[in-house]
């Protein structure tokens, strides 16, 4: 039973670290499926985490924090949208810029407002999200295997966690079963056809970018208000890029995104767990190897050795109406 | 795709528009300073004072600029081929190995002028090979070079932590860095370059690699604009289909360009390792690879633009340190914001003011044409 308990612990922390990845990767999914590449996920998440932590501690309410996180993230998404849709600028360049602006601004503003070395104040009760117990979790805990899975693995997460997992089928439904989703996918493949059908490419892409901003905002709020209690300088630590990798690894499909994020989250949880503990059969693996594994897997996938990742065809190309 | 904007005089295209974009970026940065409750004018004067006011400041400014010339050239070379190499950071980081290994092996019995060429070659080779894989994947398998180079940055960072902590760290030492090189593993300082102006660089690590950076800027100009290879690279960048039609081998050009880009980024490692720290430390690149993006965008991918842009960022780094000393609210993270704003306004939004400027020059031209001309032509 010892191994089983360890497994449950690892899986639980897998879920914990996967949530921001899932949210950010779904955010990227909306944007990239509409033909707007977004490597600014990291920056939007970071800015949202800061805004969430700051607003929650000033207003004393977690919901205000969440709203602020979403607002700031959407604003940055709109800057990206303005640069890449209206101004037809380079989308990669714009994403890089947003990452830097967020990285610098969160520290400068944090230091100016709170004077705690770029942190926001520790969030107290009611200012952050708390975990919820599923019904009967305590009663069922004693049932072997299933009870443990139910009460230790499935129960006891944040509402945002359940929201993130619910957003996976929801996103699938939006993309593949609604008119908006059909048009969103079309605008990422062939914007000319969408335009010919009399639908505004620009407005459609802006809506996709806004969806992206909202989800990045939730991801950031999760980081600073659920996973930890307060913002810490540079706290996204490359999660936005892992999410981007997961999005590519999932070949831009919502359900695959969830599994890719869980896989990368699992690697992360393992690397924390394994520090100093040799693996059975393999021996000691350097922690750095485990940390680099998601990136290596993505490169291998991109190289087309395990399936082929084909991006949306109009991705990265600004749409110019025929002149 | 056809250029969606009318043609402007060259001095407007390469001089006025970048300057306007830059001015807007700094204006927004000034607003951030205001938002923090500080005076932007005082910050600006401290910045200039710190970067140019005394010999040591100038030495530091040029030391930082050296890094950015290398990384800026790296990004620019790739831009000419239509490739976006975000991997300069990782390429420079790994290339540290190409510098540090010759130094550790040779510094006991060879003078610096023997070690330096070996280290140049080593850094260029390692940097180029770290860029070779993304380049090869882009050319042969169509994997987008932006994504692969981002991934390679993270892989490089993990790899180098492993190498420094588990392999190169001297036994019994706690800090994750190599041992210090003997004197012959250190590059001579360039105090003689500034002393004719009555300036003393003091403790600034302004060293020989600055001259190497200038030489490389010239080499890049020759290669891109005066050789057949450069012509092929630029053709690829303008129109891959035209390049294919002209019989230019696409795969070969992409791979060569990425390797050149990686080699230039790799040479950046010489400056901090042999010129300043005389050992390899964790994260010695310190974001210079990313600054290269801003430098290349600002310098319009031309060496003549990259050198002043690199010096400008040198000013920001050195003067920014001075500001954070005097005004604690404005830490060096301000530079990160400015960097982001420059990338945004000089890169992604570079055409924002172009329609207005075009209209301005069109009306100006119309007014001049309407005026009665002396019958000269």
pLDDT digits (tens, 9 = 90+) for A155-186: 778 888 999 999 999 999 999 999 999 999 99
Of the listed ranges A34-38, A313-317, B111-115, the least confidently predicted one is A313-317
- Predicted local confidence at residue B218, as pLDDT: 96
Q: Which residue has the tokens 């005389």?
A: B278
CATH code for the domain of B152: 1.10.3470
Give the integer Cα–Cα distance in Å for B110 and B112.
Answer: 7
Q: Which of B63, B81, B117 is nearest to B262 (CA)?
A: B81
- Measure CB to CB from residue B155 to each of A296, A304, A320 and give the nearest one: A296
Could you tell me the mean pLDDT of each successive run of 10 residues in chain B, 377 residues long?
Answer: 62 82 88 85 87 87 94 95 91 94 87 90 95 91 84 92 86 81 84 80 86 95 94 92 90 94 95 90 88 88 92 88 82 84 85 83 80 57
Nearest-neighbour CA in chain A from B40: distance (Å):
14
Min CA distance, B102 vs chain A (Å)? 25
Question: Are B166 and A291 in contact (CB < 8 Å)?
Answer: no
> A220: closest CA among A119, A320, A73, A103?
A73
pLDDT exceeds cutoff 80 at A104:
yes
Residue B154 forms contact with A (CB below 8 Å): yes
Give the pLDDT confidence score for residue B92 in this predicted structure.
95
Q: Give the pLDDT of residue B70.
A: 96
Asked if B347 lies within 8 A of A107 by C-beta distance, the reply is no
Task: Report how many domains make up chain B.
Answer: 1
**Residue B302 domain-assigned (yes or no):** yes
Query: Going by C-beta distance under 8 Å and a sequence separation of 6 or more, which residues neighbour residue B363?
Result: none
Looking at residue A306, its pLDDT comes to 62
Segment B29-38 long-range contacts (CB within 8 Å, at least 24 positions apart): B29/B334, B29/B337, B29/B338, B29/B341, B32/A105, B32/A108, B32/B334, B32/B337, B33/B330, B33/B334, B35/A109, B35/A112, B36/A108, B36/A109, B36/A112, B36/B329, B36/B330, B37/A112, B37/B329, B38/B327, B38/B329, B38/B330
Sign (positive/negative) of CA torsion A174, A180, A184, A185?
Answer: positive
Taking contacts as CB-CB distances below 8 angstroms, the residues of chain B near A98 are 340, 344
A interface test, pick of B340, B345, B351, B355 with most A CB neighbours within 10 Å? B340
Tally A–B CB contacts below 8 A.
153
Residue B177: φ, ψ to 5°: -150, 160
The answer to whether A320 faces chain B, any CB pair under 8 Å, is: yes
DSSP string of A207-228, one letter each residue: HHHHHHHHHHHHHHHHIIIIIS
State residue B374 phi and psi, 5-degree precision. Answer: -65, 140
A14 part of contact set with chain B, CB < 8 Å: no
Nearest to B84 among A82, A92, A302 (CB): A92
Assess if residue B38 is contained within a domain.
yes
Measured between CB atoms, does A173 come within 8 Å of chain B?
no
Nearest CA in chain A to B84: A92
Sign of CA dihedral B137, B140, B143, B149: positive
Question: CB distance from B143 to chain A under 8 Å?
Answer: yes
B225 domain-assigned: yes
Q: In degrees rounded to 5, what are phi and psi of residue B39?
A: -90, 120
User: Is B237 a member of any domain?
Assistant: yes
Residue A126 has pLDDT above 70, yes or no: yes
**Domain carrying residue B236:** 22-351
DSSP state of A230: S
CB contact A87 to B (< 8 Å)? yes
Mutate to test the interface with A, among B40, B348, B355 (most CBs of A within 10 A): B348
Alpha helices in chain B (DSSP H): 10-11, 17-35, 40-52, 55-80, 88-106, 112-136, 145-162, 191-194, 209-226, 228-238, 240-245, 250-267, 270, 288-298, 303-326, 333-343, 354-370
Asked if A320's CB is within 8 angstroms of B1's CB, the reply is yes
Q: Can you tell me the distance from the alpha carbon of A67 to that of A49, in angstroms, rounded to the nearest whole number? A: 11
Q: Give every CB contact of residue B78 below 8 A, 6+ residues apart in sequence.
A: B84, B85, B145, B257, B258, B261
B185 contacts B115 by C-beta, under 8 angstroms:
yes
Using CB atoms, which residue from B32, B146, B350 is nearest to A89? Answer: B350
Q: Which of residues 26-45 of A touch B (CB under 8 A)?
A: 39
B132 at interface of A, judged by CB pairs closer than 8 A: no
Please give the average per-residue pLDDT across A218-229, as a whole number.
90
Task: Please give the pLDDT value at position A276.
Answer: 61
B304 found inside a domain: yes
Instruction: Give the distance, in angstroms, between the CA of residue B277 and the centroid of all CA atoms in the same chain.
Output: 20
Is B214's Cβ below 8 Å from some Cβ in A?
no
Whether residue B230 is contained in a domain is answered as yes
Instruction: Note which residues in 43-82 of chain A have CB less than 8 A from chain B.
Output: 79, 82
Domain assignment present for residue B370? The answer is no
Per-residue confidence (pLDDT) for residue B377, from 0 to 100: 46
Cβ pair A104:B146 closer than 8 A: no
Nearest CA in chain A to B153: A295
Nearest-Cα residue of chain A relative to residue B329:
A112
In this complex, the residue of A92, A94, A108 whose CB is nearest that of residue B337 is A108
CA-based nearest distance B317→chain A, Å: 14
Whether A249 has its CB under 8 Å from any CB of chain B: the answer is: no
Whole-angstrom Cα distance, residue B14 to residue B308?
Answer: 13
- Partner B, chain A 194-233, Cβ-Cβ below 8 Å: none
| CA gap A93, B349 in Å, rounded | 9
Structure ipTM: 0.86
Distance from CA of B141 to the nearest CA of A (A): 6
Please name which of A45, A37, A42, A31 lies closest in space to residue A90, comparing C-alpha atoms: A37
φ, ψ (nearest 5 deg) of residue A108: -60, -50
Nearest CA in chain A to B144: A302
Write the pLDDT tens digit of every residue in B348-372: 888 888 888 888 888 887 887 777 6
Residue A280 has a pLDDT of: 61
Q: pLDDT averaged over chain A?
A: 85
Position A152 scores a pLDDT of 74
Q: Are A194 and A204 in contact (CB under 8 A)?
A: yes
Is B15 among the domain residues?
A: no
Q: Give the model's pLDDT for residue A309.
A: 66
């Amino acid at each position: 039973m010892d191994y089983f308990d360890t497994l449950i612990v690892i899986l639980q922390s897998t879920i914990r670290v996967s949530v921001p990845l899932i949210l950010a990767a779904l955010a990227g999914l909306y944007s990239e499926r509409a033909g707007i590449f977004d490597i600014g996920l990291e920056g939007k998440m970071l800015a949202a985490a800061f805004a969430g932590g700051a607003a929650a501690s000033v207003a004393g309410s977690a919901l205000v924090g969440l709203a602020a996180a979403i607002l700031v993230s959407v604003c940055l998404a709109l800057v990206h949208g303005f640069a890449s849709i209206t101004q037809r600028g380079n989308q990669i360049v714009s994403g890089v810029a947003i990452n830097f602006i967020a990285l610098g601004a969160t520290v400068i503003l944090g230091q100016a407002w709170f004077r705690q070395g770029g942190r926001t104040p520790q969030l107290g009760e009611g200012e952050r999200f708390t975990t919820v117990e599923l019904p009967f979790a305590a009663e069922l805990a004693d049932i072997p295997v299933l009870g443990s899975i139910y009460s230790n693995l499935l129960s006891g997460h944040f509402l945002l966690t359940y929201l993130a997992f619910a957003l996976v089928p929801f996103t699938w439904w939006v993309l593949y079963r609604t008119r908006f989703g059909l048009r969103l996918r079309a605008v990422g493949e062939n914007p000319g056809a969408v335009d010919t059908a009399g639908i505004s490419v620009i407005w459609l892409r802006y809506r996709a970018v806004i969806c992206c901003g909202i989800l990045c905002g939730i991801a950031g709020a999760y980081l600073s208000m659920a996973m930890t209690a307060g913002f810490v300088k540079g706290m996204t630590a490359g999660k936005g890029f892992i999410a981007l990798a997961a999005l590519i690894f999932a070949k831009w499909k919502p359900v695959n995104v969830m599994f890719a994020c869980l896989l990368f989250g699992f690697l992360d949880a393992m690397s924390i767990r394994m520090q100093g503990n040799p693996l059975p059969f393999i021996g000691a693996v350097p922690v750095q190897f485990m940390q680099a594994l998601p990136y290596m897997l993505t490169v291998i996938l991109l190289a087309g050795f395990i399936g082929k990742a084909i991006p949306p065809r109009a991705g990265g190309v600004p749409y110019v109406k025929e002149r | 795709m056809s250029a969606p904007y009318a043609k402007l005089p060259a001095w407007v295209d390469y001089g006025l528009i970048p300057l306007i974009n830059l001015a807007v970026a700094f204006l927004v940065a000034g607003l951030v300073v205001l938002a923090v409750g500080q005076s932007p004018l005082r910050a600006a004067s401290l910045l200039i004072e710190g970067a140019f006011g005394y010999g040591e400041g100038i030495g530091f400014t040029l030391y930082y600029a050296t890094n950015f010339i290398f990384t800026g050239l790296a990004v620019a070379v790739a831009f000419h081929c239509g490739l976006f190499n975000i991997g300069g950071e990782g390429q420079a980081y790994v290339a540290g190995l190409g510098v540090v290994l010759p130094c550790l092996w040779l510094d006991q019995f060879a003078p610096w002028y023997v070690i330096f060429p070996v280290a140049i070659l080593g850094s260029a080779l390692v940097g180029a090979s770290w860029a070779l894989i993304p380049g090869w994947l882009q050319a042969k398998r169509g994997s987008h070079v932006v994504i692969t180079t981002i991934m390679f940055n993270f892989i490089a960072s993990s790899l180098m932590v492993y190498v420094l902590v588990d392999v190169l760290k001297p036994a019994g030492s706690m800090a994750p860095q190599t041992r210090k090189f003997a004197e012959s593993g250190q590059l001579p300082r360039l105090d003689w370059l500034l002393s004719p102006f009555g300036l003393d660089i003091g403790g600034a690590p302004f060293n020989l690699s600055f001259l190497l950076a200038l030489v490389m800027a010239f080499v890049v100009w020759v290669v891109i604009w005066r050789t057949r290879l450069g012509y092929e690279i630029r053709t690829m960048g303008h129109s891959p289909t035209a390049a294919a039609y002209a019989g230019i081998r696409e795969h070969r050009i992409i791979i060569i360009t990425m390797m050149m880009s990686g080699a230039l980024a790799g040479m950046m490692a010489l400056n901090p390792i042999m010129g300043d720290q005389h050992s390899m430390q964790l994260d010695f690149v310190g974001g210079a690879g990313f600054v290269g993006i801003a430098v290349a965008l600002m310098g319009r991918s031309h060496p003549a633009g990259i050198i002043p842009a690199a010096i400008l960022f040198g000013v920001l780094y050195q003067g920014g340190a001075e500001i954070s000393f005097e005004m604690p609210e404005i830490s060096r993270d301000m530079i990160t914001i400015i960097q982001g704003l420059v990338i945004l306004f000089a890169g992604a939004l570079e055409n924002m003011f172009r329609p207005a400027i075009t209209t301005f020059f069109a009306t100006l031209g119309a007014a001049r044409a309407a005026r009665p001309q002396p019958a000269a032509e």
